[in-house]
């Protein structure tokens, strides 16, 4: 496994926003989204065995882990790590292009599937069959950069949504928060609005938070 960083912070986004969380950021991604804020994880990293990653996680008090990237599903030994984390609450942040049916998750583990909208430049790379594999505890995240993204996300939800918690998140600095909230309320969307708390607290470029 190629690990970019392991650190303790609060979860800055998702339905678990605000909770203390141990982050494991893996290197490598098959997409190049226009607004990517973790491009430093494309290549840089240290080779580690799942057991070594687990030992680093155990150094922290909390038993809540976010596996992210990059794209964590590119890591061949991810399943071994998840077995070691069977007693932990784990969210796996995946970019929506990979097959999430590669293995069955433990009941304490869930996906955060980031469905890339048109402004990302990667919307055509989405594996929309994943919608049929999600459970009620999984999260479906749409990062919205403008009205086109919003309308596109609505159409995707209407056609493909089956299960999961839908969240809408504005691209930081690209859209007014109130505009997205107004659109959601106007259209009676049953989705959760969220912002990136870590950027509000520490700023845009701070790493390890």
Q: Which residues are annotated as a binding site for Mg(2+)?
A: 38
Q: CA-to-CA distance for 88 and 107, rounded, in angstroms?
A: 10
| Total count of residues recorded for the chain | 209
Residues of each annotated binding site: 10-12, 25, 29, 33, 35-38, 68, 70
Residues of each annotated binding site for [4Fe-4S] cluster: 29, 33, 36
Q: Cβ distance 122 to 149 under 8 Å?
A: no
Residues of each annotated binding site for substrate: 10-12, 25, 68
H helix or E strand, kind and range, residue 83: helix 78-84
Q: Tell me the CA distances in angstroms from 186 to 19, 174, 178, 179, one per residue in order.
A: 30, 21, 12, 10
Pairing of strands 192-193, 20-26: unpaired
Residues of each annotated binding site for S-adenosyl-L-methionine: 35-37, 70
């Amino acid at each position: 496994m190629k690990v970019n960083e392991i650190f303790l912070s609060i979860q800055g986004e998702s339905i678990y926003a605000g909770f203390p969380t141990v982050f494991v950021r893996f290197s490598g991604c098959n997409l190049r989204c226009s607004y990517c804020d973790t491009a430093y994880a494309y290549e840089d990293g240290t080779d580690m065995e799942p057991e070594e990653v687990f030992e680093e996680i155990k150094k922290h008090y909390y038993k809540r882990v976010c596996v992210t990237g990059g794209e964590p599903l590119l890591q061949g030994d991810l399943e071994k790590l998840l077995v070691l984390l069977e007693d932990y609450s784990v969210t796996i942040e995946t970019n929506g292009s990979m097959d999430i049916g590669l293995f069955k998750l433990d009941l304490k583990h869930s996906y955060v599937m980031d469905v890339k909208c048109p402004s990302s430049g990667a919307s055509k790379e989405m594996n929309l069959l994943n919608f049929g594999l999600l459970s009620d505890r999984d999260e479906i995240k749409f990062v919205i950069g403008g009205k086109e993204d919003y309308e596109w996300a609505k159409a995707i939800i209407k056609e493909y949504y089956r299960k999961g918690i839908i969240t809408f998140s504005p691209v930081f600095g690209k859209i007014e928060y109130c505009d997205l909230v107004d659109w959601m309320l106007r259209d009676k969307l049953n989705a959760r609005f969220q912002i990136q708390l870590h950027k509000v607290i520490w700023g845009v470029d701070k790493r390890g938070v």
